[in-house]
Each structure stands twice: as C-alpha cells, then as structure tokens.
Chains A and B, each alone.
Chain A
Amino acid sequence: MLQSPLRPPLIEGNKTYRSITSDILNPMMNKAGKYWYLGMTISGLAMLFGVFMIFWTVWQGIGTWGENRTVGWAFEITTFVWWIGIGHAGTFISAILLLFRQKWRNSINRSAEAMTIFAVICAALFPLIHLGRPLLTFFIFPYPNTRGLWVNFNSPLVWDVFAISTYFTISLVFWYVGLIPDIGTVRDKIKKGLKKNIYNFLSFGWKGSARDWHRHEVTSIMLAAIATPLVLSVHSIVSMDFASSIIPGWHTTIFPPYFVAGAIFSGFAMVQTLLIITRKAMGLEDFITPSHIENMNKILIATGSIVALAYMTEMFMAWYSGVEYEHYAFMNRATGPYWWAYLIMITCNVVSSQLLWIKKLRTSLAFTFFLSIVINIGMWFERFVIIVTSLHRDYLTSSWTMYKPTIVEFGLLIGTLGIFFTAFLLFIRIFPVISISEVKSVLKISGEKQHKKDLSHEK
C-alpha cells in the first residue's frame, strides 16, 4: 500500500511483531503501579458514594431530588443523555472509521469501545433510578401480561428502550469479537495456573487459522456496517424524547443531527481524556502518538463546528418562525436566570473547540487534555440548558420556578463517574488496552521502519 511520506508513521519506534506483543502486554501483566491503586481508590470511593445515593433515592423516593412540579425532569436526564453521548465516540471509532479504512483507529479502537460499553452502563442506570420503583423495570418491555396491555410503540421513550439495549448488546459483541484473538495472545503468554485456564476459556480456542481470520474480518466489517446506522439512530431517538414533545425549545426537527454531532463531540473529548492518561500510565507512547491525538482533535473541530452551527440555527429559527413562545424560550435561555449555564455551554463547546484550528494547540497534549475536560463540562451543560431552561418557565407564569439540584443528584453524577473510571481501570488490567493483532497488521504498512524506507526511496 502506498503511504504518503508527509504523514507521520502510525506506530513509532523500531518495532517487531514480538516487541508489539510485549510492549502492549507487559504493562498489563506486570504488577500495577501505585498510580493505578490511587486511581482505583478515588474512583472506588466515588462509586461507593454514588451507590449510597442510589440507595437513598430508592429508599426515600425521588423527593430527595430537586425536581418540582414545573421542572419534573432535569439532572438525571441531563446526565443520562451526557453518558449516552460519550458512548458514541467509541462506536464512531470502531465502526465508522473502520468502514472508511482509517488505519490510525487500530491503536485506539479497543479502549474507545470499552469506553462505550461503560458509558452505556452508566447511562442505563438512570432510567432505572428514574422509575422510582426499579423492581418494576420489566414494565418497559413488551411482554404478554394478564392485563392484555402492551407498551406504547408510538412513544420515543419506548424506542429508547429498544435502541439502548440493542446498542449495548451490539457494542459488547463487537468488542468481544475483536478481543478474542488478543485474549489468545494473553493465554499463550501465561505459563500455567487458574489465570491461564480463565483466559483459555475466554479465548474461545482461538488458533489464528487463515479461514478463521477471514471470517473474523468479514464479521467485523459487517458489524461495523450495521453498527453505523445503529449509532446514528440511538442518539436520534434520544433526541426525539424531546423533539416529539410540544415544549418550546425542544420541538425542533434539527434535534436528531444536532444531538448526534454533539454526542460524537463529547465522546471524542472523553476518549482524549482517557487515552492521554492511558498512554502515559501504561507506557504506550509509541502506539498512541501525538498524531493520533491530533487526528481526534480534527474530529473535535468538525463536530464542534456542527454543534456551533446548530446553536445558531436554533436561535435563527426561533426568530424566523415568528412563534412567540419559541422566541421567548430562546431569549430566556441566553439572558434569563440560567444565563450563566448558557455562557458555560457556549464558552466550553463553541469557543474552546475553535481554538484547535491553531496547530500548536492541536498538537499539544497538555492543552488537549485540559480542553477535553472543558468540552465534557460544556456538553453536560448543553443538555442542562436545553432541558431546564425550556421547562422552568412554562405557559403559565404562576408556575414559573427555578430548579436547584440536591446533593443526592450530584452524588448520582459523581457515582456514575466512579463506576465509569473503576470499570476502565479494571479493564486496562484485564484485557490488552490496544488491539494487538490490528496494530501488527499495520506495522509493515506504516511502522517507523517502513516509513523511513519510504522516505529514503523518495530522495
């Protein structure tokens, strides 16, 4: 395959197949460092706090939250949409970039897919808690019952149940199919003992046969092909939870593409946060190079600009529609009592992502890390602004009110962050954090050695 000499190599350092295996597996199989234990302690404590707050909510009821009659849906749905959005970058990397043959995805797809799975788990917790009676969760599935009733298939909330459970299942299966050959590598590295048996069990007896590889590749590309419409549908359906209502500020046709772009935007920000830490902590600088980070920053510019365009379109449409309520809803968003949240949203999402046009900032790891956290905060506020500002001043001025979250609600957010990071930290100790076989398959095409050879041919 021809490779542009202008592009930096995908894998740095003079690697061989053997050194790729050991470079990726050693940090995983060696004893964990003290920073890992520190991370586990912090995220474990956050998780415990969250679990207690979930328990408190279920025990006391949702009266422990700050919701009131006017704003009946706020912090939890905000966090739910935020988590679902974060998951989207993983599928974007693993499926859409695979279809577009973007080879640079090979060293980041595994961790991004893991992120998707953990983010969807965090998101799926919220509808459960929302129900108030988690034991009755099965009510949301259509099952034959003595009342002869079914769920309402015309409701986006029911579509959500199907979308998210399918999304979770397919992401999990896709991730595991990709993991099978690498679990085989781990199995063959371990000498004996219980650990060996467990990995042997998990590797499904992978032997690396040419026919198996062929089927494996066909299955992966087909899963990517069907996961692509899936991921676009999931956030579209989430947006329809709002768009199909008649609340001013929600009732717009722009919502599905706007939400999908926002989801990929926030997801890539989270991937940046995780990968910049992971490459440093696990010593994977040769595989996740600054050019990977830069590529993802370019996606952040693209999706960030789409989000900015959507904000402007919303404002324009509110004015152009001539609908008084729409007009008021958007004026209230920008200049009403929640102006500060709107300002955070604009600063963190629109202004900050445009800074990435500057090459120096785009290639700086420290800046990217800082920016990725800023964007994640901004995207949380985007959902908060959309949800709370549209609700808190409704058609009757007598019911206008303010919404203030309680400590219990903050606990749920902190708790899911704890669950997310605990799961990710466990993942990097249990499975190879980079897809070993996929990295090997690009070594000859775009490893540093090959790259130098290409360059010398040019001269």
Chain B
Amino acid sequence: MRNRNYISIFFDDEVPLLQAVRKLRESNEIITDVLSPFPVHGLDEALSIKRSRIPVVGFIFGAIGAILAFGFQAWVFTVSYPLIIGGKPFFAAPAFIPITLEVTVLFAGLSMVAAMLIRSKLKPDIRFVPVDKRITDDRFVILVEAADAKTTLMRVKSVLSGIQTIEIR
C-alpha cells in the first residue's frame, strides 16, 4: 500500500454513505471530504456543514449595483447633462427604477457565481485529475484523514463492519 495521508471508502448508494458518515464522526475520525455524483439529501447536516454565506455576497453586491445604477442615472439627469424630456422633472425617480432593478440583478447574480467558483476553487484547469472516474457517475466516496494509513485503515474497517461498502483503500 502506498503511503498517503487519507484513505477512501467507496459506496454505490447514498443510504450506506450517510450511515458511514455518522458512524465515522461518532468514532472521531476526521472526514476530509465526501464526494458524490449529486447533492445527497441530509449530508450537509451529517457533516455539519455551515450554511454558505453566498446569499450575503449577493446582497452586498446587489446593493452596490442598485446604488451605482440609481446614483448614476440621477447624476446624469440632474448634474451632468440635465434634459427636459416630455416636460418631466429632471429627477424622474420612477423612470430610473427598471434599470436599477436590472443592474442590481446583474451584480448580485455575477457576484454569487464568482463567490461560488472562488470558494470551491473551481477554475478551468486542463490538468485536473478526479479522485475516481466513477464519482460523477454512481460512486460515493468518503475521504478520511489518516496520519498513519495502516492503523486508520484497520480502525475504519472495524467501524464500518456492518455497512455495505464497495471498497476501502
């Protein structure tokens, strides 16, 4: 066996995966990551993943977009180049709302996607190699941190003795 700092446990279904995650956490193993072909319902709670703050990013950038868009339109029509259009006031606030909404949505949307990509370290990378080729198909994997691969492997195997796994290595 190669000397690595984690061991992988393979499943072909999410039910044993969730059982295994709970058992491993009960026996104080450190789970580095869980890889799955689709978002498994209940896994976030089992791993106690904190709720992402991406909506906060969206709110902040959306607010910036709103202020920029509204402020810019107001500045253009009151300071930079006031024009009388259809006898309406220079500061025609209701007319600025549609563009303000659009720019808010644009800023909020792009910022949240950017935040997701940055936080998940997702970027176009031609040299990327997945842990296992079947994770995007039908394999569920738990990666457990292992300072000493051999003893951890023994421990994990005994913890997961009653659970249906495909492979532990």
A→B interface (CB under 8 Å): 16-18, 21, 142, 148-150, 152-154, 156, 158-159, 162-163, 166, 169-170, 173-174, 177, 180-181, 184-185, 187-189, 197, 200-219, 222-223, 226-227, 229-230, 233, 237, 240, 436-438, 440-441, 444
A214 with B52, Cβ < 8 A, contacts A187-B136, A207-B35, A207-B130 known: yes
Q: Separation in Å of the B98 CB from the closest CB of chain A?
A: 4
The proximity string for B residues 66-88 relative to A, scoring 1 for CB distances below 8 Å and 0 otherwise, is 00000011001100110101101
Which of B1-9, B106-114, B144-152, B160-168 is the contact stretch?
B106-114
The proximity string for B residues 106-140 relative to A, scoring 1 for CB distances below 8 Å and 0 otherwise, is 10111011011101111111111011011111100
Residues of A within 8 Å of B112, CB to CB, are: 219, 222-223
Q: Separation in Å of the B161 CB from the closest CB of chain A?
A: 24
Q: Separation in Å of the A444 CB from the closest CB of chain B?
A: 8
Asked if B92 contacts A142 (CB within 8 A), the reply is no
Residues of B within 8 Å of A233, CB to CB, are: 98, 101-102
A209 with B120, Cβ < 8 A, contacts A150-B80, A440-B37 known: yes
Residues of B within 8 Å of A202, CB to CB, are: 124
Asked if A169 contacts B38 (CB within 8 A), the reply is no
Q: What is the predominant secondary structure among interface residues of chain A facing chain B?
A: helix
Q: List 29 A-B contacts (CB under 8 A).
A: A17-B37, A152-B85, A153-B76, A154-B77, A162-B99, A169-B106, A170-B109, A180-B122, A185-B136, A188-B133, A188-B135, A197-B126, A204-B122, A204-B124, A205-B121, A205-B128, A206-B122, A208-B36, A210-B47, A212-B120, A213-B36, A215-B116, A216-B39, A216-B116, A230-B102, A233-B101, A240-B98, A441-B41, A444-B14
Asked if A170 contacts B136 (CB within 8 A), the reply is no
Chain B residue total in the interface (Cβ 8 A): 67
Whether, in the assembled complex, B64 has its beta carbon less than 8 Å from a beta carbon of chain A, the answer is no
Asked if A205 contacts B122 (CB within 8 A), the reply is yes
Asked if A226 contacts B109 (CB within 8 A), the reply is yes
Please tell me which one of the listed residues A170, A188, A205 contacts residue B105 in the complex, with CB atoms under 8 A apart: A170
Interface centre among B37, B55, B73, B119 (most CB of A within 10 A): B37
Whether, in the assembled complex, B95 has its beta carbon less than 8 Å from a beta carbon of chain A, the answer is yes
Give the complex CA separation of A437 and B39 in angstroms: 8
| 18 further contact pairs, Cβ within 8 A, besides A153-B96, A200-B126 | A18-B137, A142-B76, A148-B81, A150-B80, A153-B95, A158-B99, A177-B116, A181-B136, A188-B137, A202-B124, A204-B117, A206-B136, A208-B37, A210-B34, A213-B38, A217-B39, A219-B115, A229-B105
